Amino acid sequence: MVDKGQVISLCRFLLRAGRQYPDYNIREYAKRRTLDGFRMNKNLTDHSKVEDAYAEGKKQLEVVERVVKVYLAYPPKTKNIMELKLQ
């Protein structure tokens, strides 16, 4: 059974993993997608649906961690407009 602490921990892990992306757009997308997913499922009461949503969140965390490793190994050569410093 999944308790509230595990769900909050998963949310934090997803947000932290999303912050590791070097690209601003992907960082913001990961943050928005995480928060939207948790808001969408916040009213679940059926234990089987909660466990299914938690399992899906764990899968998404694995995907995010895997993609972050690829992005860090092969960073984009150009910077986003949001990442350029004004000179």
Tell me the two tokens of residue 58: 């764990």
Please report where in the chains the tokens 């998963």 appear, as a residue. 10
Question: Is 50 strand, coil or helix?
Answer: helix
Tens of pLDDT, residues 28-61 = 999 999 999 999 999 999 999 999 999 999 999 9
Give the pLDDT band of residue 87 (cuts 50, 70, 90): very low
Whether the CB-CB separation of 62 and 14 falls below 8 Å is answered with: no
Residue 64, number of CB atoms within 10 A of its CB: 22
The pLDDT, as a whole number, for residue 86 is 53
Average pLDDT, the chain: 90
Residue 26, number of CB atoms within 10 A of its CB: 17
What average pLDDT does the segment 55-73 reach?
Answer: 94
- 43: containing domain: 4-83
Query: Would the pLDDT of 16 be above 90?
Result: yes
Crossing angle of helices 4-18 and 24-40, in 10° steps, is: 160
Q: How many domains does the chain have?
A: 1
